[in-house]
Structure 1
Amino acid sequence: MSLARIHNFSISLDGFATGEPQTAETPFGHAGQRLHQWMFATRFWDAGGTTGVDDAFAQRHSQGLGAEIMGANKFGPPGWHDDPDWKGWWGPNPPFHIPTFVLTHRPRASMEMEGGTTFHFLDATPAEALRTAREAAGGQDVRIGGGPTVVRDFLAAGLVDHMHVVQVPVVLGRGVRLWDGLESLEDTYDIEAVSSPSGVTHLTFTRKASS
Structure 2
Amino acid sequence: MSKLVVRAFSISQDGYGAGPNQSLENPLGENGEKLHEWFFETHTFKTMLGQEGGLKDVDEEFASRSFDNLGAWILGRNMFGPVRGPWPDDSWKGWWGNNPPYHVPVFVLTHHARAPITMEGGTTFYFVTGGIEDALAQARQAAAGKDVRVGGGVETLKQYLKARLVDDLHLAVAPFLLGSGENLFSDIDLAALGYRIIDQVPTKKAVHLTLVRQDD
**TM-score, normalization by structure 1:** 0.94
Q: Distance in 1 between matches of 2:169 and 2:211?
A: 5
Alignment of 1:161 with 2:161, yes or no, is no
Name the aligned partner's letter for residue 116 of structure 1: G
Q: Is the 8 A contact 1:14 1:172 kept in 2?
A: yes
Q: Deviations over 1:172-203 (max 9, x none)?
A: 11101111122143661331342333131111
Alignment of 1:64 with 2:73, yes or no, is no
Q: Distance in 1 between matches of 2:7 and 2:45?
A: 14
Inter-CA distance 192–109: structure 2 relative to 1 (3 Å threshold): same
Name the aligned partner's letter for residue 91 of structure 1: G
Q: Deviations over 1:48-99 (max 9, x none)?
A: 2222221111111111011000000000014483242000000011100000
Q: What residue in structure 2 maps to residue 73 of structure 1?
A: 78
Alignment of 1:126 with 2:132, yes or no, is yes
Q: Is the 8 A contact 1:188 1:207 kept in 2?
A: yes
Return the offset for 1:34. Answer: 0.6
Alignment of 1:113 with 2:119, yes or no, is yes
Q: How does 1:46-195 map to 2 (within 5 A)?
A: 46=46, 47-79=52-84, 81-185=87-191, 188-195=194-201
Select 2:205's aligned residue among 199, 203, 208.
199
Q: Is the 8 A contact 2:162 2:193 kept in 1?
A: no
User: Match of 1:56, SS?
Assistant: helix
Inter-CA distance 187–73: structure 2 relative to 1 (3 Å threshold): closer
Identity of aligned residues (%): 44
Comparing 98-107 with 81-90, greater Cα deviation is found at 81-90
Q: Distance in 2 between matches of 1:83 and 1:26?
A: 22
5+ long unaligned stretches in structure 2: 47-51
Structure 1 stretches of at least 4 aligned residues deviating more than 4 Å after TM superposition: none
User: Match of 1:2, SS?
Assistant: coil
